[in-house]
Amino acid sequence: MPKERTIYVCQVCGRRAAKPVGRCPQCGEWNTYEARVEGPEPRTRRGPGVYRLPRRLHEIPAAEDARWPLPMKEFARVLGGGVMPASLVLLGGDPGIGKSTLLLQAGLLMARERRVLYVSGEESEAQIRLRAQRLWPAMEGEDGFPDEFYLLSETNLEAILYAVDQVQPHILIVDSIQTVYQPELEGVPGGVTQVRESSLRFQMLAKERGIAVFLIGHVTKEGVLAGPKLLEHLVDTVLYLEGDRYQAYRLLRAVKNRFGPTAEVGVFEMTDRGMVEVPNPSEVFLAGRVVDAPGSAITVTMEGTRPLLVEIQGLTSPSPFGQPRRTAIGVDAYRLLLVLAVLTRRVGLRLGDQDVFANVVGGLRVQEPAADLALAAALASSVQDRPLRADAVLIGEVGLSGELREVSHLEARVQEAAQFGFQVAIVPRVLAKRKPRWPEGMVVREARTLRQALQWALT
Stretch that binds Mg ion, among 53-61, 97-105, 344-352, 387-395 (CB under 5 A): 97-105
Q: Which stretch binds ligand TYD (CB under 6 A): 50-58, 268-276, 279-287, 318-326?
A: 268-276
The count of residues interacting with ligand TYD (CB under 6 A) is 14
Q: How far is the CB of 20 from ligand TYD (least distance, A)?
A: 59
Cα 248–chain centre separation: 17
Q: Is 128 in the site for ligand TYD (CB under 6 A)?
A: no
- For 83, 221, 223, 231, the CA distances from 228, given in Å and listed in that order, are 27, 12, 9, 8
Closest separation in Å from C-beta 272 to ligand TYD: 5
The verdict on 272 binding ligand TYD (CB under 6 A) reads yes
The single residue among 157, 270, 424, 454 that binds ligand TYD, judged by CB under 6 A, is 270
Distance CA 83, CA 71 (A): 10
42 binds, among ligand TYD, Mg ion, none (CB under 5 to 8 A by kind): none
**131 is a site residue for ligand TYD (CB under 6 A):** yes
CA distance 428 to 406: 5
> How far apart (Å, rounded) are the C-alpha atoms in residues 396 and 410?
9
Nearest approach, Cβ of 346 to Mg ion (angstroms)? Answer: 48
Binding window for Mg ion (CB under 5 A); candidates: 5-13, 93-101, 221-229, 410-418: 93-101
Contact indicator for 117, 152 with CB cutoff of 8 Å: yes
Please report, as residue ranges, which positions from 75 to 104 form the binding site for ligand TYD (by CB under 6 A).
Answer: 93, 95-101
246 vs 334 by CB, closer to Mg ion? 246
Instruction: Compare residues 92 and 295 and give the one whose CB is closer to ligand TYD.
Output: 92
> How many amino acids of this chain bind Mg ion (CB under 5 A)?
1
270 or 450: CB nearest ligand TYD: 270
Is residue 217 part of the contact set for ligand TYD (CB under 6 A)?
no
- Report the 10 Å Cβ neighbour count for 129: 13
Interface stretch with Mg ion, choices 98-106, 203-211, 284-292, 391-399 (CB under 5 A)? 98-106
Alpha helices in 25-151 (DSSP H): 73-79, 99-110, 125-140
Q: Give the three-state DSSP class for 350.
A: coil
Q: In what order do the strands lie in the sheet with 116-120?
A: 149-153, 116-120, 171-175, 212-218, 88-93, 237-242, 249-257, 265-271, 274-277
Q: Which is nearer to ligand TYD, 103 or 380 (CB)?
A: 103
Q: Does residue 184 interact with ligand TYD by CB under 6 A?
A: no
Q: Cα separation of 217 and 60, whole Å?
A: 35
Question: How crowded is residue 232: how many other Cβ atoms within 10 Å of its Cβ?
Answer: 16
Cα 448 vs. chain centroid, distance in angstroms? Answer: 35
Rounded Cα distance, 254 and 45, in Å: 32
Q: Cα dihedral sign for 203, 204, 210, 215?
A: negative
Among 72, 74, 79, 100, binds Mg ion (CB under 5 A): 100
Task: Give the range of 31-39, 269-277, 324-332, 414-422 binding ligand TYD by CB under 6 A.
Answer: 269-277
Please list every residue from 135 through 154 that binds ligand TYD, using CB under 6 A. Answer: 135
Binding site for Mg ion (CB under 5 A): 100
